[in-house]
Amino acid sequence: MKIFVNGAATTQFGELWGVSPRSLARGSVSSALKDARIESAQVEALFVGNMLSGMLGGQEHLGAFFAEELGLPVPAFKVEGACASGGLALHNAVNSLLSGQYATVVVLGIEKMTDHKPEDVATALMGAGSEEERNAGATFPGLYAILARMHMNEFGTTEEQLAAVAVKNHYHASLNPNAQFHNLLTVEQVMRSSRVADPLKLLDCSPISDGAAAVVLSTKNIKGSVEVAASVVATDTLGLAQRAHLTQLTATQRAAEKAYRIAGLTAGQVSVAEVHDCFTVAEVLAMEDLGFFPRGKAAAAIEKGETRLGTSAGIVVNPSGGLKGCGHPVGATGVKQVVELVDQLRGSAGKRQVENATIGLAHNVGGSGATAVVHILKK
């Protein structure tokens, strides 16, 4: 049995003061249904990926909440895995189709973060890590900074090379009307931005954003569909102190290996990837963990432009602008990545179009690497 993405859509990502979560959901889901050319009556289940609705908004029970809001009185589920919530919602939706339980489902990834003070959001995001990390005051950037320092020490990765990730992703985002940022960056600007958690600076970090993305998944290969060739989840320890390796995210590595095996592909065959650049260093780690570059070599390759739109080197990474440029409404990201890949594989990505895109890979991570979700899509 094969699984297909029939329809896909995102909302604008950014600081959307006047837009409510209900409005974000309605907008993205109705666009996705329209894109799939189906009626809501055909939807058999709803999967919602979200992390912070409870801690920030006091609202849990999002399955029921959005089922009602969307006029979809069907089985509905909230799926949470920190920043991998969207990817996990997709994975659960895929499984529900593979099980034969449903034939057509909607996946909604959604997050509303700008209603609250940044320090409250930072505190809530620390829920993605371990209690020991919370008690240490280790913010999310702090944890990735600890990883960055190890990678820099082991492989000689430089802060300028990390900055190049942000520069590339802002360039891509400038071509994406839905992205949060449209300004171009230089390495100097990133280097001069204020330090958040040494060595990571403000412009090394993805922003706080609002946004939603939705896809329609089914077992039917209607016109314009893209096949889900693999949907794999891997889990590692919650906290960094319990990890076996600190210069890689093993969960990403394991999820990718299995995904390639299931899809019958190798890393070298991937044309375009949407990876989890919550911080610039995270994209460097992803390049190596996903097998796109040998360990220790990715930073230099990114700096040389080998993963930028227009490259002939083999793979374009984060054409949407990634989390840094497009924005990171936590629960929405994993689904948005798939929406971008669908556009790419359909050939409808406009100025962001990757030439001859046939195989796409979406990489979504929870916390500092405790959960990794890899989806491989095929035209």
Partner 1 sequence: MSEEAGQPLLYIFLKNNMQSPVKIWRNQKNIASLVGKTGKILSWTIVRVPPGDFTDQAPYPVVLVELESGKRVTCQLVDYDDAHLTFGQRVVTIIRRVTHPDPDGVIPYGIKAKPLV
Q: Which of residues 235-274 bind partner 1 (CB under 8 A)?
A: 239-242, 246
Residue 240: closest CA among 154, 51, 52, 367 = 367
Residue 202 is encoded by which pair of tokens? 């403000």
Q: Is 56 in the site for partner 1 (CB under 8 A)?
A: yes
Q: Which is nearer to partner 1, 239 or 291 (CB)?
A: 239
Triad 111, 215, 258: Cα angle to 5°: 95
Contact call for residue 217 and partner 1 (CB under 8 A): no
Counting contacts by CB under 8 A, is residue 51 touching partner 1? Answer: no
According to CB under 8 A, which one of 64, 74, 98, 124 is a site residue for partner 1?
124
Binding test (CB under 8 A) with partner 1, winner from 38, 164, 197, 374: 197
Least distance CB 122 / partner 1 (angstroms): 5
Which residue has 């794999």 as its token pair?
232
- Site size for partner 1, by CB under 8 A? 43
- CA 210 from centroid of its chain's CA atoms: 14
- Kindly list the catalytic residues: 83, 328
282 is a site residue for partner 1 (CB under 8 A):
no
Q: Would you give the distance in Å from CA 70 to the centre of its chain? A: 23
Binding letters toward partner 1, positions 136-155, x by CB under 8 A = xxxx-xxx-xxx-xx--x--
Determine the Cα–Cα distance for residues 359 and 379; give it in Å rounded to an integer.
7
- Out of 68, 188, 198, 355, point to the residue binding partner 1 (CB under 8 A): 198
Question: Using an 8 Å Cβ cutoff, are 305 and 168 in contact?
Answer: yes
Q: How far is the CB of 200 from partner 1 (least distance, A)?
A: 8
- Could you write out the DSSP letters of every residue in 164-224? HHHHHHHHHHTT-TT-S------HHHHHHSPEEETTEEGGGB----BEEEEEEEES---TT
150 vs 187 by CB, closer to partner 1: 150
76 contacts 17 by C-beta, under 8 angstroms: no
Binding residues for partner 1, rule: CB under 8 A, are: 55-59, 116-117, 119-120, 122-124, 126, 130, 132-139, 141-143, 145-147, 149-150, 153, 194-200, 239-242, 246
